[in-house]
Amino acid sequence: MNLSKRIARLRPTERLSHVTAARILGVPLPLDADERLHISAPPNASHSRGKGVVGHRDDGPAIELDGLRVSAPEHLFLELARELRRDDLVAAGDHLIHVPRFRVAHRPWTTLERLRAAAVGPHRRVRLARLALELMRPGVESAQETKLRLLLLDAGLPEPVCGFELRDRDGRSIGWFDLAWPEHRVLGEYDGDQHRTSTVQYEKDIRRFDRAAEDDWRVIRVRAAGLRRAGRDDTVARFDRALRR
C-alpha cells in the first residue's frame, strides 16, 4: 500500500511518531534520518505492519494537526532522543521551543519547562533528553545556528546570547543576529543559502553588517564549510581571536 494511503487510513488508536511526526512539525532532521513511516499504538491495540513502516508499541500522548494524529511535542522529543545524535537532538528541541518574531500558527510547539516536566523516568531516552535540555536555548531559528553554538561551547568559548537584537547608541534597531557576546561587542552569524541566493536578503545583510561595524561591533560570519570537520578549527579560532580582542 502507498505510504500516503496508509497515513490516511490510520486507526483511531494509532499516531504518527518519531521522525515521521518530526517532519510534520517541521523539526529539522539530519540528512541521514530514517525515511520510513513511523506509527505508534498502545501495546494492547492492533498494530500497523508492512513494507516501509516501523511500528512502535507506545501509548504516549498525541495531538491532532491538519487531521492527522501525531505524537505530542513533549513526547516526540523523548522519541527523538533515541534516534538523533546530540547536536541534532538539541537542534530539534530548539525548534520545538522557538517563539517566532512574527506569529506563526501552532508555534511554539512547546516550552522548555514542559519538556523538562516530561523528561522523567529511568529510561535511557529520558537521560539523553535531559542532557540535550541543558544545552537548548530560546531564540534559535535554525539547526545550523544550534550546531555553531555547540561547536563554540565545546571548544570552551563563553556562552553567547541567541537571537540578539542589536540597537545603535540612539536606540534604533540595527537588526537581529544569531549569536552575540555583548560584553565583547562580537556577533556571530550563520549564512545560509538564502543569504546568497536572495538579492533582497543580501542587500539587507550588507546594511546590517555595515551598521554593526560602524557601531564598533565585530561580525563573524560562518557558512556551511565552517561547520564541517575540515573547517571547524578555523571557525573556533576566528571567534576566539575576536573574543580575546
Domains of the chain: 3-133 (no CATH), 143-243 (3.40.960)
Positions in the chain short of pLDDT 50:
1
Q: What is the pLDDT of residue 226?
A: 97
pLDDT digits (tens, 9 = 90+) for 171-223: 999 999 999 999 999 999 999 866 566 778 889 899 999 999 999 999 999 99
3-state SS of the chain? CCHHHHHHCCCCCCEECHHHHHHHCCCCCCCCCCCCEEEEECCCCCCCCCCCEEEEECCCCEEEECCEEEECHHHHHHHHHCCCCHHHHHHHHHHHHCCCCCCCCCCCCCCHHHHHHHCCCCCHHHHHHHHHHCCCCCCCCCHHHHHHHHHHHHCCCCCCEEEEEEECCCCCEEEEEEEEEHHHCEEEEECCHHHHHCHHHHHHHHHHHHHHHHCCCEEEEECHHHHCHHHHHHHHHHHHHHHCC
Q: What is the pLDDT of residue 52?
A: 87
pLDDT of residue 1: 45
pLDDT at 233: 98
Q: What is the pLDDT of residue 151?
A: 98
pLDDT at 51: 83
Q: What pLDDT does 218 receive?
A: 97
The pLDDT value given to residue 22: 98
